[in-house]
A = this chain, B = another copy of it.
């Protein structure tokens, strides 16, 4: 069982097809003989890291189309301009109907994996790991987080329910960091670790005193981060976030943080240009 077997992913594939195919492909139905065989290749028009290849199989399956997909590159691998990522055999009409939906998935997820890989490469030689955020495209979270993994990144929590992240408003409402951590520890499943978001070194001290499992240093300068890292030592997992870019991430990593979270991985990765060449 993989991420592609999740009901939400199957439902998304069907929704994506529904919005493209609607009541049927008028053009293809009227111009292409239904049983005409066809072959196709998905070709890279720029280099990148692949993610989402199994979705191509799923798109054609959801169409009720007997298309055989042969994968030449697997998710997580890099490809060069001009590479053939996969070959497809089936009816020409089916290939034409599923083409755009399949490519839309592949282009977006490979975009995420490719951008992630660039961040991962920028951290080479440091102990820091790049992680994603909850700033994902509505409806695509588990897929985009999968693409982050395929790019070499690591995942932050998947949602509001699978981890504790205490932010400024929680702290204010609970009456301070100590009270908030205590409430969380008392009420949450013991399988959930507790992270506290801090914007000052004083807060870091409070979070340490409350025995938080992880500390998120938000929007701090590199100097502040370095100071925080010294105070925390091994007493908590250290995450840095806020305004991280490919030009700034290395300096942040060099402070010794464990994790650097980057929203852009999922909310601003440009699509990778791919095309499907069909021989009708």
The CA-CA distance from A131 to B26 in the complex, in Å, is 16
Query: Contacts of A142 on B, CB cut-off 8 Å?
Result: 19, 23-24
Residue of B nearest to A195 (CB): B191
* Interface residue? A71 (CB, 8 A): no
Query: Contacts of A154 on B, CB cut-off 8 Å?
Result: 187, 189
26 A-B pairs whose Cβ atoms sit less than 8 Å apart in the complex: A1-B64, A7-B18, A15-B139, A16-B138, A20-B159, A21-B159, A21-B161, A23-B162, A26-B161, A26-B184, A26-B188, A26-B192, A27-B164, A30-B183, A30-B184, A32-B169, A97-B160, A131-B189, A139-B139, A169-B278, A172-B280, A190-B213, A191-B192, A191-B193, A192-B192, A267-B271
Query: Contacts of A139 on B, CB cut-off 8 Å?
Result: 12, 15-16, 19, 138-140
* Interface residue? A203 (CB, 8 A): no
Interface centre among A1, A4, A30, A134 (most CB of B within 10 A): A1
We find that the number of chain A residues with CB closer than 8 angstroms to chain B is: 106
Query: Contacts of A29 on B, CB cut-off 8 Å?
Result: 187
Residue of B nearest to A238 (CB): B190
The CA-CA distance from A24 to B24 in the complex, in Å, is 17
Q: Which residue from B174, B189, B258, B264 sits with its C-beta under 8 Å from A163?
A: B189
Known interface pairs A65-B1, A162-B162; A141-B19 also in contact (CB < 8 Å): yes
The CA-CA distance from A83 to B152 in the complex, in Å, is 37
Tell me the residues in window 154-207 of chain A with beta carbons closer than 8 Å to chain B beta carbons: 154-167, 169-174, 180, 183-184, 186-193, 195
The CA-CA distance from A123 to B166 in the complex, in Å, is 30
Report the copy number of this chain in the oligomer. Answer: 6
Residues of A in contact with B (beta carbons under 8 Å apart):
1-8, 11-34, 36, 38, 63-65, 92-94, 96-97, 100-101, 103-105, 107-108, 111, 131, 134-142, 154-167, 169-174, 180, 183-184, 186-193, 195, 213-214, 237, 239, 258-259, 263-264, 267-268, 270-271, 278, 280
Q: Is the CB of A14 within 8 A of B7?
A: yes
Q: Is the CB of A137 within 8 A of B108?
A: yes
Residue of B nearest to A23 (CB): B161
**What's the minimum C-beta distance from A82 to chain B, rounded to whole angstroms?**
16
For the complex of A and B, list the 5 residue pairs with the smallest distance between their C-beta atoms, beginning with the closest. A163-B191, A22-B161, A16-B138, A5-B64, A25-B160
The CA-CA distance from A38 to B170 in the complex, in Å, is 12
Q: Is the CB of A173 within 8 A of B108?
A: no
Q: Is the CB of A191 within 8 A of B214?
A: yes
Residue of B nearest to A95 (CB): B169
